Amino acid sequence: MSPILVESTGLEKERAALQAVLQSALFVRSPTLANLLSYLCEKTLAGEGDQIKEYSIAVDVFARPDSFDQDVDSIVRVEANRLRKRLADFYKSEGAAQAMRISIPIGQYVPVFEELAQASPQVVRGREMAQPTSIGQARALLRRWWVVAFGLIVLVVGALYLAKDRQRPQTFAPSPRPVASVPESPIGLPVGDEIRILTGATRRYVDHSGKLWGPDAHFTGGHAVQSSAQYTWRTQDPTIYRSSRQGDFSYNIPLPAGIYELHLHFAETFYGPENAGGGGEGSRIMMVTANGDPLLTNFDVIVDAAGARTADVKVFTDIAPAKDGLLHLNFSSVKGGDGMLSAIEILPGIRGQLRPVRIVTRDVPYYSDDSHWWSADTYFKGGQLAAMEEPTGTDDPELYSTERWGNFSYAIPVTPGRYVVTLHFIERHIHAADRSQPSSLQGSPGTRLFNVFCNRKLILRDVNVLEQAGEGRPMVRRVSGLEPDTQGKLLLEFVPVQYYATVTAIEVVPE
């Protein structure tokens, strides 16, 4: 969506909207965000929106050197996400009456100016009448305050009396039957150090979810290989898969005692019909062990990922260090080609089950109102990201402010077991002039219809969010009893029946 520029008025409304934000208490006490917003808006109003890039923002706003590398330093993505949330807070509070609003769409840095309908005069008059405009009204208001104060005194006296009464000995009759204790489920994920290693890499990297990946370490044997492949399917972070360690090698990683969840990342960027090595399935087969126990046997990345240049993640629970305090991972070639590995991720684990997987369709992570952390979009193939206005029909509008639309799929790695998949959708009324939506949907409200499959089995038929939930209202669908395929994945496919499929967020938890 391009910014709204009104040349005939000299952009007075846009500049006034900017000043209203900058002079608010929310932005006065946050000069960093104010400076970022001012830079983005002034560049846009000067007709230089095409010059707003992550690199230029880092150098011009955050004083990063000319050698700034966005793969290592995520300052711009982090601060832009903070700015989006601060703008949303402003328009919910101080700026609620603003007729023109500024937003930074997900996935870009060029601000959008949108003029809203003016507030109803009746609302304004109602607010004026709420003020004491005469001596009589002021006296009436004072009497009401005296009544409230007297009520508070009564409550305090009553509380003191009850506290004194509680000091007396009390007897309780035994319960006729025992009460079973109900285990409390943790609010968040296990807390502890997280380890991320880019195998074969010499530099750090910060991914789209703000996670820091360190350079190669704790290895023995093998050799580092760099790939020239620029695009990797099912990830927003191809950098993770552009380096690897190959051959016969091992990693001996020091870990405190405990239970961990292990993620091994692979992507075949050498073998394959479009790659330098040619071949394909069967060109590289390997075996992986942890502390001597097999994790993967006769493992073929291309087969598991269903193609070359595709991010493939294998997940393992109940991982623990050996008696010497090290996690010993061994990778060996079996038939043809060298063993290989792109990255290692070790997270605090939950005994006997997988950590919840939460994905929101945007290029940055999100903390929802219920204190859950949602990863930036990942595991996807196909489709497009789009941002929209935050809806008003939900308590957590930011969660529903983006979507992936088109004909697309998610290959979510899990461990053996049964899972509950929760899918979040939202649809707004689509107007003919709405350029943020696919052109074939403009002016065609209510025409989106699609199916959802899990591992080729239909789980949702003829989804029509607008008809089933209403305009601007979230729709949540939960499907239980889902099991991974033989590659250890929940393959969720969103297949259009009429126009495009859509999804806003995906949650996978053990059943």
Asked if 34 and 72 sit in the same domain, the reply is: yes
Q: How many domains does the chain have?
A: 3
Question: Of 84, 99, 115, which marks where a domain is finished?
Answer: 115
Q: Tens digits of per-residue pLDDT, 53-98? A: 999 999 999 988 888 888 777 788 888 888 988 998 899 899 999 9
- Whether 190 is covered by a domain: the verdict is no
Higher-pLDDT residue of 324, 133: 324
373 in the same domain as 275: no
CATH number at residue 468: 2.60.120.430
pLDDT at 506 exceeding the cut of 90: yes
User: 339 and 376, same structural domain?
Assistant: no
Residue 216 lies in a domain: yes
Measured between alpha carbons, how far is 110 from 48 in angstroms, rounded to an integer? 10
* Residue 58 placed within a domain: yes
CA distances to 146, 202, 207, 406, 429 from 394, rounded to whole Å, are 39, 45, 29, 24, 16
Instruction: Say if 166 falls within a structural domain.
Output: no
Instruction: Tell whether 137 is covered by a domain.
Output: no
Q: Does residue 215 share a domain with residue 340?
A: yes
Closest by Cα among 487, 423, 502 to 455:
487
- pLDDT band at residue 106 under the 50/70/90 scheme: confident
Do 505 and 388 lie in one domain? The reply is yes
pLDDT of 395 > 90? The answer is no
Mean pLDDT of 267-290: 92
Burial class (CB in 10 A: 0-12, 13-18, 19+), 460: middle
Please name which of 329, 325, 493 lies closest in space to residue 423, comparing C-alpha atoms. 493
H or E segment to which residue 251 belongs: strand 243-254
182-196, 326-340, 360-374, 495-509: least confident range: 182-196
Does 238 lie in the same domain as 377? no
Q: Which of 330, 348, 366 is the last residue of a domain?
A: 348
Q: Between 84 and 475, name the one with better pLDDT.
A: 475
pLDDT at site 120: 44
- Lowest average pLDDT, out of 138-147, 179-188, 262-271, 415-424, goes to 179-188
Give mean pLDDT, residues 441-466: 85
Indicate whether 268 and 225 sit together in one domain.
yes
pLDDT number for residue 437: 52
Enclosing H/E stretch for 386? strand 384-387
**Beta pairing partners, 224:** 245
- Same domain for 242 and 341: yes
Q: Are residues 401 and 449 in the same domain?
A: yes
In terms of residue numbers, what domain contains 11?
Answer: 7-115
Domain membership of residue 81 (yes or no) is yes
Backbone dihedral angles phi then psi of residue 358, each to the nearest 5 degrees: -130, 125
| Partners of 233 in beta bridges | 310
Picking from 100, 115, 130, the residue at the C-terminal end of a domain is: 115
DSSP states of 120-141: PHHHHHHHHHTS--SHHHHHHH
Look over the chain and give the mean of its residue pLDDT values, rounded to a whole number. Answer: 83
DSSP designation for 16:
H
Based on the domain organization, do 423 and 488 belong to the same domain? yes
Residue 307 lies in a domain: yes
Tell me the pLDDT band of 1, cut-offs 50, 70 and 90: very low
pLDDT at position 59, please? 93
Q: Do 238 and 333 reside in the same domain of the chain?
A: yes
Helix-then-strand count for the chain, H and E? 9, 28
According to the model, what pLDDT value does residue 188 have?
52
The rounded distance, in Å, linking the Cα atoms of 507 and 422 is: 5
**What are 374's strand-pairing partners?**
366
Per residue in 349-371, pLDDT tens? 999 999 999 999 999 888 877 77
Query: At a CB cut-off of 8 Å and minimum separation 6, what does 62 contact?
Result: 75, 76, 79
Position 394 scores a pLDDT of 78
In a domain, 63, yes or no: yes
Which value, in Å, is the radius of gyration of the alpha carbons in the chain? Answer: 28
Distance, CA of 11 to CA of 20 (rounded, Å): 14
pLDDT confidence of residue 177: 31
Q: What is the pLDDT of residues 112-154, one digit of tens each?
A: 998 876 544 443 333 333 333 333 444 444 444 443 444 444 3
Whether residues 311 and 419 fall in one domain: no
